Amino acid sequence: MKSKITIVGVPMDLGQRNPGVNMGPNAMRYAGVSEYLEGLGYKVTDYNDIEIGKAEYLEDPKINLRNLKAVADASETLGEKVDSIVKSGEFPLILGGDHSVAIGSLAGIAKNYKKLGVIWYDAHGDLNTPETSPSGNIHGMPLAASLGIGHPALTNVLNYSPKVKPENIVIIGARDLDAGERELIKARGIKVYTMHEIDRLGMTRVIEETIEYLKDRTDGVHLSLDLDGLDPADAPGVGTPVIGGISYRESHLAMEMLAEADIITSADFVEVNPILDERNRTAVVAVKLMGSLFGEKLL
Ligand SMILES: NC(=[NH2+])NCCC[C@H](N)C(=O)O
Ligand SMILES: [Mn+2]
Ligand SMILES: [Mn+2]
């Protein structure tokens, strides 16, 4: 793992409709993210927040994409920033914000890796397109956009596409997939560990297989961790909770095993919404998981 971490906050809430997820980055700062990672021996720089436009653009009612222009603009800004962080040899740690922020994260990161791997830790596939989306919410589309599927304003961030190949993606924790997402997963052969496989195989084997699968085919791995991948009992402060999720303990184990394998080269932690939370505990969970991802050990 790189010894320097640069944090970028993305107070984005335009990819969905619950107010409060724009306060996610600060919720994680209040939970002590910088101090915590410094305590593990990293040099941490907080770049502060990317500027997010307002939801005031005239929208085209014919396209099923809420706040397209503002989300696309923020993705460009974030993409450029993340690209420069990777180029200066630091580990980009992006704090969301709704999951649409991953469009910008991946745009910036994938410029630097020919065979970028992605671990999508999430209750959802986030593989919708304007055609398949039941909601028009862009936070349900970032993985599809990164595959080059969807509106050009989202697929072409930083003027290239795709950012990632379907065979370099592993989705972990899925338990709420829309019909179009299921089709896309099958058509493109994306590897998915649903809750069924996690229950059946156990998290140890799921992560062992994930590491084995990504190790040789990729030259870097981005972890995109949506806090709703966890069970709402452990991470209640999210906008689209789905019961029957990954436990806090299993998530720690997953992060510890990824740290041991030393394969993660960038990460985003998204969907923390302090308004929907209880005493900021979802942000605390996020920060503790980061601790394990960055190598914290009890003994
Ligand atoms: N990043 C998320 N929490 N995504 C939730 C997406 C929910 C639903 N599949 C949709 O597209 O609207
Ligand atoms: Mn989700
Ligand atoms: Mn998500």
Q: Return the pLDDT at 58.
A: 64
Asked whether 165 lines ligand 1 (CB < 6 A), one says no
Q: Return the pLDDT at 185.
A: 98
- Set 73, 98, 231, 271: catalytic member: 271
Q: Return the pLDDT at 135.
A: 95
Q: Return the pLDDT at 57.
A: 60
The C-alpha atoms of residue 46 and residue 25 are separated, in whole angstroms, by 11
Active site residue 49: no
Tokens at 145, concatenated: 């956009």
Ligand 2 centroid to Cα of residue 3, in Å, is 29
Q: Count CB-CB contacts under 10 A for residue 47.
A: 17
Active site residue 228: yes
Q: Return the pLDDT at 36.
A: 98
Q: Return the pLDDT at 1.
A: 77
Q: Checking phi first, is residue 225 left (phi over 0); if not, alpha (psi -120 to 50) or beta?
A: beta
The C-alpha atoms of residue 31 and residue 114 are separated, in whole angstroms, by 35
Interface predicted TM-score (ipTM) = 0.97
Asked whether 135 lines ligand 1 (CB < 6 A), one says yes
Q: Return the pLDDT at 45.
A: 98
Asked whether 228 lines ligand 1 (CB < 6 A), one says yes
Active site residue 151: no
Asked whether 224 lines ligand 1 (CB < 6 A), one says no
Which residues, given as ranges, of the chain have pLDDT below 70?
A: 56-58
The C-alpha atoms of residue 173 and residue 105 are separated, in whole angstroms, by 21
- Set 126, 176, 250, 268: catalytic member: 126
Decide if 38 contacts 6 (C-beta within 8 A).
Answer: no
Q: Which ligand is nearest to the CA of 140?
A: 1
Asked whether 296 lines ligand 1 (CB < 6 A), one says no
Active site residue 216: no
Active site residue 256: no
For residue 125, the ligand 1 atom closest to its alpha carbon is 9
The C-alpha atoms of residue 2 and residue 156 are separated, in whole angstroms, by 29
Active site residue 124: yes
Asked whether 124 lines ligand 1 (CB < 6 A), one says yes
For the chain, the DSSP string reads --SEEEEEEE---TTSS-TTGGGHHHHHHHTTHHHHHHHTT-EEEEEEEPP---TTSPP-TTS--TTHHHHHHHHHHHHHHHHHHHHTTPEEEEEESSTTHHHHHHHHHHTT-TTEEEEEESSB-----TTT-SS--GGGSHHHHHTT-S-HHHHTGGG---SS-GGGEEEEEE-B--HHHHHHHHHHT-EEEEHHHHHHH-HHHHHHHHHHHHHHH-SEEEEEEEGGGB-TTT----SS--SS-B-HHHHHHHHHHHHHHT-EEEEEEE---GGGSSTTHHHHHHHHHHHHHTT----
Tokens at 65, concatenated: 């994409």
Ligand 2 centroid to Cα of residue 170, in Å, is 14
